[in-house]
Each structure stands twice: as C-alpha cells, then as structure tokens.
Amino acid sequence: MCGIIGFAGNTEAVPILLDGLERLEYRGYDSAGVAVASPEGRLQVKKCKGRLGVLREALAAQKPLTGQVGIGHTRWATHGEPNDVNAHPHVSQSGKLAVVHNGIIENYLEIKQSLLHKGVVFASDTDTEVIVQLLEYYYKKSSNLMDAVYEVLNRIKGAYAMGILCSDFPEQLIAVRKDAPLLIGYGADGNYIASDVTALLAHTRTVTYMEDDEVAVVTADHVQILGRDGCFLEKEKHQIQWDVSAAEKGGYAHFMLKEIMEQPEAIRKTVSPRTIQPRLADGEIVFEELEDERDLMKGISRIYLVACGSAYHVGMIGKYALERLLGIPVEACLASEFRYSGPLLGESALVIVISQSGETLDSMAALREAKRRGSKVLSIVNVMGSSIARESDHVLYTWAGPEIAVATTKAYTTQTVLLLMLGVYLARRLDRIGNGEYQEIVRELHGLHERIGMVLKNLELYQKTVARYFNHDSVFYIGRNQDYALGMEGSLKLKEISYIHSESYAAGELKHGTISLIEPGTLVVALAAYEPLVEKMRSNIVEVRSRGAEVVAMTTEETRDMIGSQASEVFVIPKTHTLLQPVLGVVPLQLFAYYIALNRGCDIDKPRNLAKSVTVE
C-alpha cells in the first residue's frame, strides 16, 4: 500500500526521494509524488497518476526541483480515484505546508465540513488533504508549527504515518505516526523517514522505529523525537541485518522468481539456529526466544492461529499439525473476521499471529483484541521491529530476508516451517510426542533446505509444462487435510499473479456440489503428498478424470506411480516427514503460478489492485 520516504540532508533531495520511492514500488501504488523545500523557503511539488516512470518523465521535462529537504509518496487509492490531484503530497491552501500520509483519517468528512464553513477550499477528494488544511488552520491561529501539529493530532481519528514540510522551516521535516509504520534512518548525508526499511537500505541500516503518538523533527544533522505530551524521548537505534542486495533483483526477471529460488537459504536460516544438530547425541529444537517462558502452554486449553491471505493458509496447515501434536483444539482464523466472531479468548487461549510484514491492519487489530481480552499473543513475523512484533508477548522471526514480490513465497515457507517447529517443540515439552518421531522430525528439518533445492533444480520442467496450460480460464485445486490447505495457497498464488479464476476444494467435498463444474478440458491441480490419504486422493483424481478433467498432480517420490498414472502431468517432490511435507509441496505450486503468469504476460511482481502490506481494514 502507500509508501513514504523523507530526507533532510546535505545533498539534493529529489534523486534520493525517487530512489526511495522506487524501492517502495513493490508495496503496490497507483500514483506518486514528491515535495521539496527550497533553501529560501518555497515548496515545490510534482505528482502524477501512474507508475514512477511517469513522475520521473514529468520531473525531467520541467525546471528541476531543488532543495535538500523533501518528502515523497506512492499512493494506493482509498478516498478518491487515482489521479494527479488526489496523489500525494497534498498542499495547504496558502502553499506553505505539504503532507504525505499513509493510513485513513476516519473523521475526515466532519473536519472537512467544518473547514469548508471557514472558507477553506479543497483541491482533492482525499482524507489526507484535511490534515494539511487543518494544520494550516491551527498554524495560522497559533503561529507555532509544533503546537499546530499537536492540535491536529488531537483532532484527527484513524491511522496515520505522515511526513510534513513547512516553507517557514525549510531545513526540517516533521514525522508523525499512529497505527501505521514509520521509521527514522540515520545516514552519512543526512537523516531519513520511511514507511518501510527497504527504502533506506541503500543509505543506512541504522534506524529508530517510531511508536504510536510520537512526533519527530528531522534535520540534516539532528533527529528529535517527542512524545504525545511534547517531552523529548531517548529512543533506541537498531541495526538492520538485511543488506541492499537482498532487496534487488540480482539478475532474475522478477523478484518473485528470485524469492522462490531463495527458499533453501531462507529455510536454512530459519531452521538451523533453532535446532541442535543430531550427530551422535539426540537432536533438539530450541527456541531461545521462549527461554523465559518455559511454561508457555501452562493453563492453555485452545490455540487460535490468526492471519490473512497466505499467512492464514499457513495457519490452516498449522491447525492440522498442532491439533494432532498437542491434543487441544486449534483453530485457524481469518484476522479480518476474528474480532467480530466472538472468539473464546482469555487466559486459557494462546493466540498465534502470523504475518510477513508485521503491519497487516486486520492482524494487528486481532492481536490487540486478544491482548485486551487477556490472551497471551505469540507472533511469527518476518520484518524486525514491525508493529505486530513489537506488540506481541513473544516473537519468533522468520529469517526470510526482505520479500518484495507482492505474491509471498519465501515468507510462506519459512512461516510454515517455523509454526510446525513450534508445534513439535511444544509437544516435546508437554511430553506428547515420542522420542522416535521427534528425532526423525529434527533430522528431516536439517535436510529440508536441500530438499527444496532439489525441487528447484527442475525449473525447465515447470516452464515446459505450464506452456500447455496458460490459456485455461478456470483452475480447480483439490487436496485432503494439509494438502487441502496447500491447495488454498496454490490457488491464491495463481489468482493473484495470473488473474485466472481458481478455487480450492477439499477433494472429498467435490461430490457435494462443485463436481458439476467439471467438464471435458477443465484443469484440476490435484495435490496428493499427504501420505495417509494418498489412496483417497487417487480416487478423487479418477472421479474428475472420468468427467473429462485434465489433471496436473503433485505427489512424492513414493507415490509417483500410483498418482502419476492417473494424471496428464505430475510434479514429484522428495519425501520428508509427513508433517513437513507442505514445505516442499508448495514449491511446485509457486512455480506453476509463476510460469503461467509469465506466459500470460502479467505484471508478476506488482499485480493489479494488490498491495504488499495491507494497512487498511
């Protein structure tokens, strides 16, 4: 969704802002803009509908915007259509103030009405413009910019991360946050604000995460952070481990393919620090993060796995696994539904929130609801220091590195493996898993990254196979148990990047209605890697084949013949412990979706209408 970059330094701001916006493109946007304060105190703004290239061309065609302090924004439209006027930055009526904003101002209509009565003229349809016009109104009244900022904060309701420029103070920018991410970066040529660390990696890895209700005043050589009461705060600086190359394509045609190929490394980094190598002695899963909470499960009688999109599909796999391992009810819940569905929260419920970005608003709201109602929250998050990570009681980080493609791949596999490891770890502590099975899982965890590497050696097979299927306009995914959950993910991958209609069904459920849609030529992706139900899956494949479906199957080496003989095409994955099988099984589905989208000429890394991190409800 929307992205913010701001710079106050000793060098021209526009190139830095454009570079930052380029690195934020992956979040999804429909317009972009920059505002720069000239040293003599004049705000210059350029903003355009469309890709960043349009803004670059527009800037190149006019007199350069000069100045060393500026703000930039990529907008994902919520209020008002995507056009030049609704793009950010928004400027106050006098032209003295400019604002970029992520989030939504809930009471903007009421504020707009009162400003209209005072004669303020609005240019755009956005909620953001009320911020800048209101700021000007208070600034005119008090002649004190910081007082005016606090007046605005007292008045507006909703979520916001903001960057503010004022022509009376051309050497500074002001940053504000509430319920939307914003961080400050400390660089050699100046200081930065950004909504996402990837925008800063080329300049600095030293950052401070802003908390809700904090206000920062940023100049070339100073950063002051103040609390809601106006007092100065001492804030910790953090070092980001990710390097800039991790957020670049590195020779791949798309970030998505690069990230698919990075999975062996991402899995190794996520698994190996948490497992003791089984040599002569027995192996062990260790979570140092949970050292202080050895009784995490004490008094816990149910678990909720709460997440959105692909992370929810991870939760579905976790439901099957954790329920079996721990012997207590485990529910996978869509975060957007969670707080409205009367979950049985309280001290006896453990809530596990799963999120790559750590900023998904629905997941964040579910987390807060769980905490408010007395449940312990553990989160599985990829982005360090993100809001979900900071508000959880315990955090387990997936070490996938930055994920840029909108369609998640390496975050999904690392989330899955981490959740499964957590389940096994807890089962061991509760004495609910036999040593034999436990040791086998630990051993298999060690070899998992190599097995993913084996699947990825077969890229040509996928490329060739997919060429036959890219023209289908509807695809069904079927599977049982954890393969059903996997089908949900495969189907979502296909939908989001290729725009092909697709649905996922529990294979046994087809006969209760959906089988009526199967006709000669219908494409069915049949997932048959869950060993206990492979024979039943074989029958389901026969069912759809006998109605003319074309079947692409996914199974393991062990059942290749049984399943392969019934399918037009079969993707074979190495065998591992049943519990871990989905970590391998998802890879062919990612590649299938990727090559179909490639064949259809889709914008794979930035699919239409989608955003990487969804920070609206």
Residue pair 525/475 in contact by the 8 Å Cβ criterion: yes
Select 305 or 311, whichever has its Cβ closest to ligand AGP.
Answer: 311
Q: How far apart are CA 389 and CA 183, in angstroms?
A: 15
Name the region of 548 (left: φ>0; alpha: ψ -120 to 50; beta: rest). left
36, 130, 193, 308: which one contacts ligand AGP (CB under 6 A)? 308
Compute the least distance from the CB of residue 403 to ligand AGP, in Å: 9
| 310 is a contact residue toward ligand AGP (CB under 6 A) | yes
Compute the least distance from the CB of residue 359 to ligand AGP, in Å: 7
Q: Footprint of ligand AGP on residues 394-453 (CB under 6 A)?
A: 406-408
Select 195 or 360, whichever has its Cβ closest to ligand AGP.
Answer: 360
Q: How far apart are CA 337 and CA 2, in angstroms?
A: 24
128, 379, 482, 613: which one contacts ligand AGP (CB under 6 A)? 613
User: What residue type is 241 in one-letter code?
Assistant: Q
Select 1 or 549, whichever has its Cβ closest to ligand AGP.
Answer: 1
Compute the least distance from the CB of residue 184 to ligand AGP, in Å: 22
Cα–Cα distance list, 388 to 194, 222, 245, 399 (Å): 18, 28, 26, 16
Report the SS3 class of residue 364.
helix
Among 97, 96, 140, 144, residue whose Cα is nearest residue 119: 140
Q: How far apart are CA 372 and CA 387, in angstroms?
A: 16
CA 474 to chain centre: 26
Q: Residue 327 class from Cβ within 10 Å (0-12 exposed, 13-18 middle, 19+ buried)?
A: exposed
| 270 is a contact residue toward ligand AGP (CB under 6 A) | no
Select 390 or 443, whichever has its Cβ closest to ligand AGP.
Answer: 390
| 266 is a contact residue toward ligand AGP (CB under 6 A) | no
- Residue 68: HSE in the Cβ half-sphere, 13 Å Cα cutoff: 14
Report the SS3 class of residue 70.
strand
| 614 is a contact residue toward ligand AGP (CB under 6 A) | yes
Cis peptide before 89 (omega within 30 of 0): yes
Compute the least distance from the CB of residue 305 to ligand AGP, in Å: 13
What tokens appear for 460 in the block? 């040509």
Among 213, 1, 228, residue whose Cα is nearest residue 103: 1
Q: How far apart are CA 278 and CA 288, in angstroms?
A: 18
Compute the least distance from the CB of residue 596 to ligand AGP, in Å: 15
44, 92, 263, 360: which one contacts ligand AGP (CB under 6 A)? 360
Report the SS3 class of residue 346.
coil
174, 257, 311, 332: which one contacts ligand AGP (CB under 6 A)? 311
**Percent of the chain as helix, strand, coil, to the nearest 5:** 40, 25, 35
Compute the least distance from the CB of residue 214 to ligand AGP, in Å: 23
Select 422 or 510, whichever has its Cβ closest to ligand AGP.
Answer: 422
Binding mask 480-519 for ligand AGP (x = CB under 6 A): ----------------x-----------------------
Select 86 or 356, whichever has its Cβ closest to ligand AGP.
Answer: 356
Residue 249 catalytic?
no
What tokens appear for 11 in the block? 């060098």
| 590 is a contact residue toward ligand AGP (CB under 6 A) | no
Report the SS3 class of residue 260.
helix
Select 135 or 407, whichever has its Cβ closest to ligand AGP.
Answer: 407
Select 357 or 414, whichever has its Cβ closest to ligand AGP.
Answer: 357
Compute the least distance from the CB of residue 400 to ligand AGP, in Å: 11
| 596 is a contact residue toward ligand AGP (CB under 6 A) | no
CA 537 to chain centre: 33
DSSP letters spanning 122-174 = --SS-SHHHHHHHHHHHHHHHS-HHHHHHHHHHH--EEEEEEEEETTSTT-EE
| 314 is a contact residue toward ligand AGP (CB under 6 A) | no
Per DSSP, 382 falls in state S
Select 27 or 112, whichever has its Cβ closest to ligand AGP.
Answer: 27
Compute the least distance from the CB of residue 315 to ligand AGP, in Å: 11
Compute the least distance from the CB of residue 363 to ligand AGP, in Å: 5
Residue 376 catalytic?
no
31, 128, 355, 504: which one contacts ligand AGP (CB under 6 A)? 355
Sheet order of strands, 214-218 included: 90-91, 97-105, 158-166, 173-178, 214-218, 223-226
Interacting span for ligand AGP (CB under 6 A) from 233-241, 256-264, 276-284, 307-315:
307-315
| 364 is a contact residue toward ligand AGP (CB under 6 A) | no
Select 275 or 504, whichever has its Cβ closest to ligand AGP.
Answer: 504
- Closest-CB residue for ligand AGP? 309
How many residues form the binding site for ligand AGP (CB under 6 A)?
A: 15
Q: Catalytic pick from 2, 48, 308, 333? A: 2
Measured over the CA atoms of residue 94, residue 95, residue 99 and residue 100, the dihedral's sign is: positive
Compute the least distance from the CB of residue 380 to ligand AGP, in Å: 9
Interacting span for ligand AGP (CB under 6 A) from 201-209, 353-361, 524-532, 552-560:
353-361
Interacting span for ligand AGP (CB under 6 A) from 265-273, 350-358, 562-570, 600-608:
350-358
Residue pair 33/65 in contact by the 8 Å Cβ criterion: no
Residue pair 46/56 in contact by the 8 Å Cβ criterion: no
Q: Catalytic pick from 46, 49, 319, 612? A: 612
| 566 is a contact residue toward ligand AGP (CB under 6 A) | no
Interface with ligand AGP by CB under 6 A: which residues? 308-311, 355-357, 360, 363, 406-408, 496, 613-614
Question: Which residues are known catalytic residues?
Answer: 2, 612
